Amino acid sequence: MDDALLRRVAEHVATQGRSLDPEQPAVRLSGGLSNLNFRVRVDGRDAVLRRPPAGKLPPGAHDMVREHRLLSRLAKVFPQAPESFLLCEDLSVLGVPFQLIEYRTGTVIQGDTLPPALSAPADRKAVGLRLVETLAALHAVDADAAGLGDFGRPAGFYARTVDGWLRRGRDVAGDNDDLARRLSAIGSWLVAEAPRDAAPVILHSDFKLDNCMLDGDWNVTTVLDWDMGTRGHPLMDIATLASYWTEPGDPDCMHRLAQMPTAAAGFPGRAEAVEHYARVSGRDVSDFPAWRVLALLKLGVVFLQLHRNWASGAIGNETYAGFAALVADILDYAHQQTGS
């Protein structure tokens, strides 16, 4: 972020009764595939300026307004949620909505690369299980008590989610008939296998290891990236986590995702993770297979959207060039999970 933009932000922040130091350069923070995060100084303390990427944004993603509403309330009852303390919807400032969020520190394990300190199999297992426990704790939050009882649209969540991701998939697939056929086959199965409803919970919607900060004892202290948060069926979140959870015997596409290091020795497998979630949350997971396929569909479409944004020059580097082929393989893997 250049100095002129930072001064513009500082002027706006001043109108909200806070002070952002324009002489302290905005430092780009690493992590994430699309949203932009910068460390800035607000009221004499470090904070995160968070904004969506440039270019065309897919529906429902990079929603700073929704994320601010969620984090400004959730932080009061869920310690792992950082507080969002200022939202700017005035497009004359940066051209996009942005937030100022509490700055936190901790270890972030990005992709499938393990830090040397996480070498003991027992520690790896603990990390895997604590991820699941953190998700169960989020789902135990009383949305009404948090002021989020009317957040999201939980009624008809499954059908709307299936329809939404199929629609987004068709949009980014364009005239690629092979991808369209894959999407159609998965969609037909998901409609036929609609699971039972459950009481809605607060969902993160992209819960995985590199969206978490860990302390020195490998406890999850912070959960990041809430821009797709909503309320809905709890199994969608555990299925999303499982969609990133690679095992040694998985097909090549899961390893090429390189999203979590769970194929390394010591980490629990997906089935153990889901069983642990059922145990600590007390929830019925018998309908998990349908949510698993839906989460893989979502994953494929997200990577297709990222590839499109890379092709347009909006985000990323040459790594994104291979996402199109990866998406086809992920969708094939999703279809294999249907058994049809």
Q: Which residue reads 């697939």 in tokens?
A: 173
pLDDT of residue 175: 82
151-168 as b/e: b if 16+ CB within 10 A: bbebeebbeebbeebbeb
Which two three-digit tokens encode residue 92? 């004359």
Nearest residue to 176 (alpha-carbon basis) of 18, 300, 89: 300
pLDDT, tens only, 109-125:
999 999 999 999 999 99
Q: Which residue reads 């299936």 in tokens?
A: 162
Q: Which segments of the chain are extended strands (E)?
A: 27-28, 36-42, 45-51, 84-88, 98-102, 201-203, 212-214, 220-223, 230-232
Separation of alpha carbons 136 and 207, rounded Å:
11
pLDDT of residue 90: 95
Separation of alpha carbons 179 and 252, rounded Å:
19
Rg of the chain, C-alpha, whole Å: 20
pLDDT of residue 173: 82
Q: Is the pLDDT of residue 314 over 70?
A: no
Q: Average pLDDT for residues 167-171, to the nearest whole number? A: 91
Q: Report the percentage of the chain scoring pLDDT > 90.
A: 82
Q: Check residue 218 and report its DSSP letter.
A: -
Q: Which residue reads 């302390």 in tokens?
A: 215
pLDDT of residue 61: 63
Question: Which amino acid, residue 276?
Answer: H
Q: Average pLDDT for residues 314-334, to the nearest whole number? A: 80
pLDDT of residue 321: 73
Is the CB of residue 280 less than 8 Å from the CB of residue 268?
no
Q: Is the pLDDT of residue 316 over 70?
A: no
Q: Is the pLDDT of residue 213 over 70?
A: yes
- Rounded to 10°, the helix 234-244/270-281 angle is 150
pLDDT, tens only, 57-102:
655 567 899 999 999 999 999 999 999 999 999 999 999 999 999 9
Query: How far is CA 174 from each of CA 168, 241, 331, rounded to the nearest angstrom?
Result: 10, 28, 16
pLDDT, tens only, 221-275:
999 999 999 999 999 999 999 999 999 999 999 999 999 999 999 999 999 999 9
Domains and CATH numbers, the chain: 3-102 (3.30.200.20), 121-337 (3.90.1200.10)
Query: Whole-number mean pLDDT of the chain?
Result: 92
pTM (2 d.p.):
0.92
Residue-by-residue DSSP string for 295-318: HHHHHHHHHHHHHHHHHTTSS--G
SS3 103: coil
Q: Is the pLDDT of residue 278 over 90?
A: yes
- ∠ CA 59-62-64, rounded to 5°: 115
